[in-house]
Amino acid sequence: MLWYCAFKWHPHTTREHVAQRIVQQHEAGTNHPESIKGWYNLAGGGAGFLLIETDDPRQLTTFLQPYMDLVSFDVHAAYPVDYQKQLQEFRQLSQHIGVGTRTR
């Protein structure tokens, strides 16, 4: 399962704090880089999101907890969508809904 983990630095957090913690957790073997499918920072700094792949939400929590004094997380389960397949389903749905319905 893929998890979308938006993060925002707490007001007291510095770049040095984040760098030190990431290196510390990496060297301890707790970051599991193979599970990190994406890491994106937002322009301006201090926020971004991670895409983490794990089937066990407890493993996700174990990954995130060492950072919770530096950043807040907003976590959601995510799944991929095939655009063409979804478009086809929406076309079928809109045709079904359109029967007997007028748009203004």
pLDDT attached to residue 78: 96
Non-local (6+) Cβ contacts of 50 within 8 A are: 3, 4, 5, 7, 36, 38, 39, 40
Residue-wise pLDDT for 31-59, tens only, equals: 999 999 999 999 999 999 999 999 999 99
Quick check: is 83 in a domain? yes
Band the pLDDT of 97: cuts 50, 70, 90.
Answer: confident
Q: In this structure, is residue 76 part of a structural domain? A: yes
Q: pLDDT, tens digit, for every residue of 63-79?
A: 999 999 999 999 999 99
The CATH number of residue 86's host domain is 3.30.70.1060
103, part of any domain:
no
How many domains, in total, are found in the chain? 1
Q: Is residue 56 part of a domain?
A: yes
Query: Which domain, by its residues, includes 23?
Result: 2-98
Rounded to an integer, the average pLDDT of 5-12 is 98
| Prediction pTM value | 0.83
Residue 104 lies inside a defined structural domain of this protein: no
